[in-house]
Amino acid sequence: MARLAGKVAIITGAARGMGALTAKRFVEEGAKVVIADLLDEPGQALAQQLGENARYVHADVSCEQDWQTLIAEAEALGPLNILINNAAILHAAAIADSDGDDYMRVIKVNQLGPYLGIRAAIEPMKRSGGGSIINISSIDGLQAKNGLSAYVSSKWAVRGLSKSAAIELGPYNIRVNTVHPGGIYTDMHGAGEGAQPSDEDNAFYVNHPLPRVGLPAEVANMSLFLASDESSYSTGSEFIVDGGWNAGLRLDLLPTS
């Protein structure tokens, strides 16, 4: 039996990258999916490829009105069960070399976007008898990096937001969790559509517990578990898909097996 049979999902930022892979995986498992993005051409092409169980909607996650459109499009497919807040942007600059506008541009998409999405999904999910909200954070929501202060701040914030929402929405059987990918081979990582990681792409990860870059499908499979009823007692939690990066790195200075 398909793991998401009869469920309706909204996935933001799903025109490409991990969101697109997740949309494909969800349709394979019986879900109806609304693909939300600003990239109309790849978004429409993906919806067409996935057939009658997918539709593309142009929507900016930082715009409250666009969320009303997304909810209406999803409910036209059936009661809303799943929301994946996946859309995000990066701004790589040192704090000293960036300004408040750079910072707020990232915060609006990565932090305000998931807040507006959760808010918009509450009543539809209550009507459905419950739901699963998955907020895509990052390893950068567990650690930090130089040059990514806005991104790191937004990904830590999403983790806190998810826990608050989980506490508020648990009584309605609405679960809220975060997924924390490590380095994943997508457009954000410089990979084009259908590209396979080379030895050079894996080189950065040589001292990680699993010494390779992650694949979008490996994150999609975690979201699939969280979206399905298989994770029915999990909420307010962090689900890490990072090849062990957050556990620590293998040090050449010390013995290893």
Residue type present at position 89? I
Size of the site for ligand NAD (CB under 6 A): 29
How open is the CA angle 247-248-254, to the nearest 5 degrees?
140
> Which residues are designated catalytic?
151
| Residue 223 touching ligand NAD (CB under 6 A) | no
In this chain, which stretch among 48-56, 184-192, 197-205, 231-239 interacts with ligand NAD, using CB under 6 A?
Answer: 184-192
Residue matched to tokens 């609304």: 34
End-to-end CA distance of the chain: 42
Site for ligand NAD in 120-159 (CB under 6 A): 136, 138
Q: Which of 7, 8, 16, 174 touches ligand NAD (CB under 6 A)? A: 16
The Cα–Cα gap between 61 and 115 comes to 9
| Residue 178 touching ligand NAD (CB under 6 A) | no
Q: Which of 114, 131, 183, 197 touches ligand NAD (CB under 6 A)? A: 183
Rounded least distance, CB 176 to ligand NAD, Å: 15
Q: Centre a 10 Å sphere on the Cβ of residue 24 and count the other Cβ atoms it contains.
A: 19
Give kind and range of the element (H or E) at residue 62: none
| Residue 105 touching ligand NAD (CB under 6 A) | no
Q: Which of 9, 11, 18, 34 touches ligand NAD (CB under 6 A)? A: 18
Query: Which CB sits closer to ligand NAD, 80 or 107?
Result: 107
| Residue 62 touching ligand NAD (CB under 6 A) | yes
Give kind and range of the element (H or E) at residue 85: strand 80-85
Contact (CB, 8 A) for 178 and 137: yes
Q: Which of 187, 201, 218, 238 touches ligand NAD (CB under 6 A)? A: 187
Rounded least distance, CB 41 to ligand NAD, Å: 11
| Nearest residue relative to ligand NAD (C-beta) | 17
The contacts of residue 211 (CB under 8 Å, 6+ apart) are: 202, 205, 243
Burial 152-162 (b: 16+ CB within 10 A, else e): bbbbbbbbebb
| Rg of the Cα atoms in the chain | 18
Binding site for ligand NAD (CB under 6 A): 12-13, 15-19, 36-39, 59-62, 86-89, 109, 136, 138, 181, 183-184, 186-189
